[in-house]
Amino acid sequence: MPHSEFWTERTVAWYARAVARSDFAPRVLAVIGPALDECKSALDVGAGCGALALPLARRMGWVTAVEPSAAMARALREAAARAGLGGVTVIEAAWGEVPVERHDLVVCAHVGGLLNADSPFLADAKRLARRLVVLIRDAPRPEDQDKFFYRELYPALLGRPYEHRSHADETLGGLRALGMAPRVTLCEYSSDQPFIDLEEACDFWMTYMGLQGSGPRAYLEGFLRERLLSASGELIAPFRKTAAVFVWSPAEAQASGPGDGLPY
């Protein structure tokens, strides 16, 4: 399935429920630190349903969210309205499709294609940020928990291993090639996925793994019955993640020297 078609009302609702119980935003905001106090406006590229856009809007008032998925954009608009955050503007477009003004902070989290070393977005972020660029990319470590049990489920149901390596060093290389020497911090957070019941959990894995038919579903049912945790009437797939947070300010010479790599 092309990635653009992946986000539907249902997949967005799953994503939003994981975001709602996650400590991702407070941990990222803590990593950014007091520099955030100087920012009065933020541009969140690939904002999704607002994991960072909404907390940033609460903090600084004005957020422009660029988000191409209609289902994600709708969820973000609705969540902003529910929270009474009138300063959130959602531009329903992919990066590069519409002109965007400069903002104090430019943030982009978990949008792999835009954060590759050769992505033109990196230079755009440098140009469009008055005070701060914050980029966030998965940086899974060997000791991290398996994403959605994929290390076991991929070989069993798709006949291939699951490979989830960190691409954060590529982002760092791309930024350095542009003369940006960001502060890099590894940030651990929880991204547990809740489900109402086992049937919904099976729907989730069938969708995420692109599976069809009663055989894979029966396998998942047996597997997930053993692995999901019960808590407060929900079933939980526990997931602790690590992300690399790149913070760069046009005004400051950053500490990281040209020979430094990721901090692990």
Ligand X SMILES: C[S@@+](CC[C@H](N)C(=O)[O-])C[C@H]1O[C@@H](n2cnc3c(N)ncnc32)[C@H](O)[C@@H]1O
Rounded-to-integer distance, Cα 48 and Cα 136, Å: 14
**Toward ligand X, which CB reaches closer, 61 or 68?**
68
The H or E element that residue 187 is part of is: strand 183-190
The H or E element that residue 240 is part of is: strand 240-248
| End-to-end CA gap in the chain | 34
The CB-of-159 to ligand X minimum distance in angstroms stands at: 26
**Toward ligand X, which CB reaches closer, 120 or 215?**
120
Residue found by looking up tokens 């503007």 in the block: 89
What phi, psi does 91 have (nearest 5°)?
A: -100, 115
- Check the CA dihedral 40-43-48-51 and report its sign: negative
Residue 241 pairs with which residues in a beta bridge? 189
The CB-of-96 to ligand X minimum distance in angstroms stands at: 7
**Toward ligand X, which CB reaches closer, 51 or 57?**
51
Q: Which residue ranges make up the site for ligand X (CB under 6 A)?
A: 7, 19, 45-48, 51, 66-69, 72, 94-95, 109-111, 113-114
What DSSP character marks residue 46? T
Residue 183 pairs with which residues in a beta bridge? 247
**Toward ligand X, which CB reaches closer, 43 or 201?**
43
Residue 231 pairs with which residues in a beta bridge? 234
**Toward ligand X, which CB reaches closer, 71 or 180?**
71
The CB-of-226 to ligand X minimum distance in angstroms stands at: 28
The CB-of-27 to ligand X minimum distance in angstroms stands at: 12
Structure tokens at 36: 């955030």
**Toward ligand X, which CB reaches closer, 220 or 243?**
243
The CB-of-98 to ligand X minimum distance in angstroms stands at: 10
The CB-of-69 to ligand X minimum distance in angstroms stands at: 4
